[in-house]
Amino acid sequence: MHDTLALDPRDRDGLQQPLLIARDLRKHFPVKGSGGKSVQAVDGVSFTVGKGETLGVVGESGCGKSTLARLLLHLVTPDAGELVFDGEPVGVSAGIAVAASRRQGQMVFQDSYSSLNPRMPIRDSVAFGPFVQGKKKDEARRIARDVLSKVGLDPGLFGPRYPHELSGGQKQRVNIARALATGPRMVILDEPVSALDKSVEAQVLNLLRTLKRQFALTYVFISHDLNVVRYLSDRVLVMYLGRAVEIGPIDAIFERPLHPYTRALLASRPSMDPARRIEEPPITGDPPNPIDPPCGCRFHTRCPFAETVCETTDPALGAWQGPQPYVAACHMRDPLSGHSLSGNA
């Protein structure tokens, strides 16, 4: 898989250079009539996505996953922070323009119904991307046919159809085809399977795996379904209330989660083993209001281990270039934080 990646003519600096670096991304949405308050959808999130890697992003509803996805493609402009795409800063005068970065990144949306134009035959929807990027109409149509057959839809049969004539799974395949038609290197999957039933979900996930190999893609896979994330991802980023609380290799985090929130998330999965039923919900209540997040650690209002230090000091998400493969933003991991359990890390 990595061999094909190295051959990509657009590749710069080989595999050592991460495909995407996000530094301290921030997006606050002002709330009307609240006297200058804002929803802190994404508040200082940093991570890297390596070439050919799948980064899973998990978290509760409303924790900023979708906003993060839109930030990565500049569909919403970040208030602060920096995006570096394959070594080039995006959207600043010295780096590549936003438009150029959009040629290399695409997105698959959650709602397969509203993400296709109802008045456009699907072959035109798929051909639209290549067309606006300067391909001739015939050429764009040819690409659309090609990509449609790659996602398992017969272009002759499905091409002239309208979105309402397709099933949910077929529509999501069209969405994937649309994303791939422009030849991206990175695809952001914003809950691509959460609206599908289980059998179709499995088909689409396998399709995504196959396509990743075939097109040498890098995925950012957003989901609230932990099993799905584990199936597809190499590394995982856990988000809580607009912050990254833990990031690391998927197996390490699933085997030994560091952050209490990650532990609670993992414990909330229904168990396959009847002998290991979950007796009570490990985490209760709703997440705090992102307009007015708690001070200190944002999780302290729901954390079973919260102490005074958690209410006063905001834990940092470890050292980015540190030796350990994964980091968590928790005082219990920092021997100098003063948390009574900090020695157990």
Partner 1 sequence: MTNGMLALTLVFIPPMCRVAETATTQVRALDFIEAARASGARTTTIIRYHVLGNVLGPVFIYASSLISISILLASGLSFLGLGVRPPEPDWGLMLNTLRQSIYVVPLVCGLPGAAIFITSICCNLVSDGLRAAMDVRM
Contact call for residue 128 and partner 1 (CB under 8 A): yes
- For strands 54-58 and 235-240, give the pairing: parallel
Q: Which stretch binds partner 1 (CB under 8 A): 111-119, 221-229, 252-260, 292-300?
A: 111-119
Q: Which stretch binds partner 1 (CB under 8 A): 24-32, 41-49, 113-121, 245-253?
A: 113-121
Contact call for residue 116 and partner 1 (CB under 8 A): yes
Contact call for residue 129 and partner 1 (CB under 8 A): yes
Contact call for residue 132 and partner 1 (CB under 8 A): yes
Least Å distance between CB 133 and partner 1?
A: 6
Q: Which stretch binds partner 1 (CB under 8 A): 36-44, 69-77, 298-306, 309-317?
A: 69-77
- The tokens for 3 are 């061999």
Contact call for residue 125 and partner 1 (CB under 8 A): yes
Contact call for residue 17 and partner 1 (CB under 8 A): no
Which one, 64 or 105, has the nearer CB to partner 1? 105
Least Å distance between CB 137 and partner 1?
A: 12
Contact call for residue 99 and partner 1 (CB under 8 A): yes
Burial class (CB in 10 A: 0-12, 13-18, 19+), 272: exposed
Which of 39, 73, 264, 332: binder of partner 1 (CB under 8 A)? 73
Side chain identity, residue 84 = V
Which one, 140 or 250, has the nearer CB to partner 1? 140
Dihedral of CA atoms 345, 290, 50, 267 in degrees, nearest 10, equals 50
b/e per residue, 74-111, with b = 16+ CB within 10 A? bebebbebbbbbbebbbbeeebbeeeebbbbbbbbbbe
Helix (H) / strand (E) containing 127: helix 122-132
Burial class (CB in 10 A: 0-12, 13-18, 19+), 16: exposed
Could you give the strand order of the β-sheet that contains 20-30, starting from the edge strand earlier in sequence? Answer: 38-49, 20-30, 80-85, 88-89
Contact call for residue 257 and partner 1 (CB under 8 A): no
Contact call for residue 135 and partner 1 (CB under 8 A): no
User: How many residues belong to the site for partner 1 (CB under 8 A)?
Assistant: 29
User: HSE-up of 114 (CA within 13 Å, CB side)?
Assistant: 4
Q: Which of residues 236-255 bind partner 1 (CB under 8 A)?
A: none
Task: Report whether 264 contacts 83 (CB < 8 A).
Answer: no
* x-or-dash string of contact with partner 1, 169-208, rule CB under 8 A: ------x--xx--x--------------------------
Contact call for residue 133 and partner 1 (CB under 8 A): yes
Residues 6+ apart with CB under 8 A from 26: 42, 43, 44, 45, 78, 79, 80, 81
Which one, 117 or 308, has the nearer CB to partner 1? 117
